[in-house]
Amino acid sequence: MTTIREWQVGQSLPDVTLAPVSRLDLIKYAGASGDYNPIHTIDEEAKKAGLPGIIAHGMWTMGNLAKLFTPYYEEGFVQDYFVRFQSMVFLNDVITLKATVKEKDDKAIRFAVAAVNQHGKEVVKGEAVFLLYE
Amino acid sequence: MYQNDIGKRSAKVKNVVERGAVKKFAEAVGDPNPIYWDEETGKRSRYGRNIAPPTFPRVFDYGVIEGLTLPSKGLIHGEQRFHYERPLFVGEELYCYAEVKDYYEKQSSMGLLGFLVIANNGEDADGNLIFTSTSTIIINEAVRKAMSV
């Protein structure tokens, strides 16, 4: 398997495109996280809140984005992970997860990370520092 | 409106990184890597056990910050940050608490917005900080007005 250390500044980890966002995805995340805010699962509640329909939990998208780093857990771990929730994710949106190396030294790799929807809009954007073991 | 709450903390609450909860969470974020749930994979890994995904601290109980009242609706999660000293281990006990780190207001096209920064921390039994999960919550003008009535 490729090691994360081999990635150079400007290179990207393989993109991951998720299946279209389903209500069941959000119900599962609500149950697993304990975040039962109904704007994420119940249409009427989302409409009452002035939304066109239910929206994904920001943390669902952030949680998905982190999996780009999971295959490399033997080499290090995600020490810092920051995102800004820039835009809402709706049902049936198709989200692509991206990570590009911004900086690198012997101890850590800093990535620019983003989740992008089917219109090319960055819905979540931030950075992650992957700390390398000696 | 929350300036006076800066520095307030909850009492620590003991949480366990529960095996079943980790597996369910990993599945819910589409990351069913065996390092999170398969005992053999955990044993063979450099950690010698299973670990939890980076955004797992969402599930912990951080207690209640006395005197801090948040609106039940209309909050927007603006930003989120995690910092780790090491990954979380399945089965370990963590002592978690929340702290109001900051509050500020900014004028925007949507009116005056409030930004509330809350840090959720987790320590081991010896009081060593293991992770901090910092959320910036945006409170819009309509919600703030409704609250002060």
Tell me which chain B residues have a C-beta less than 8 angstroms from the C-beta of A35: 58
The domains of chain A are located at 4-132
CB distance from A81 to chain B under 8 Å? yes
In chain B, how many domains are there? Answer: 1
> Mean of the pLDDT values across residues A17-29?
98
How confident is residue B149, by pLDDT bands cut at 50, 70 and 90?
Answer: very low
| Residue A80 and residue A95 in contact, taking contact as beta carbons nearer than 8 Å | no
Instruction: Between B57 and B74, name the one with better pLDDT.
Output: B57
What does the block give as tokens for B87?
Answer: 């990954």
CB contact under 8 A, B31 and A32: no
pLDDT digits (tens, 9 = 90+) for B81-110: 999 999 999 999 999 999 999 999 999 887
pLDDT of residue B109: 85
Sign of CA dihedral A59, B74, A117, A131: negative
The Cα B64–Cα B40 span in angstroms is 38
- Average pLDDT over chain B, rounded to an integer: 94
CB contact under 8 A, B53 and A63: yes
CB distance from B59 to chain A under 8 Å? yes
**A40, containing H or E segment:** none
CATH code for the domain of B133: 3.10.129.10
CB contact under 8 A, A67 and B82: no
CATH of domain A4-132: 3.10.129.10
Q: How far is CA B16 from CA A40, B12, B22, in A?
A: 27, 13, 10
CB distance from A77 to chain B under 8 Å? yes
pLDDT digits (tens, 9 = 90+) for A52-100: 999 999 999 999 999 999 999 999 999 999 999 999 999 999 999 999 9
CA angle B31, B32, B36 (to 5 degrees): 100
What range defines the domain where residue B101 resides?
3-16+61-148
The region of weakest confidence among B13-27, B106-120, B133-147 is B133-147
The Cα A105–Cα A84 span in angstroms is 25
CB distance from A58 to chain B under 8 Å? yes
Percent of chain A with pLDDT over 70: 99
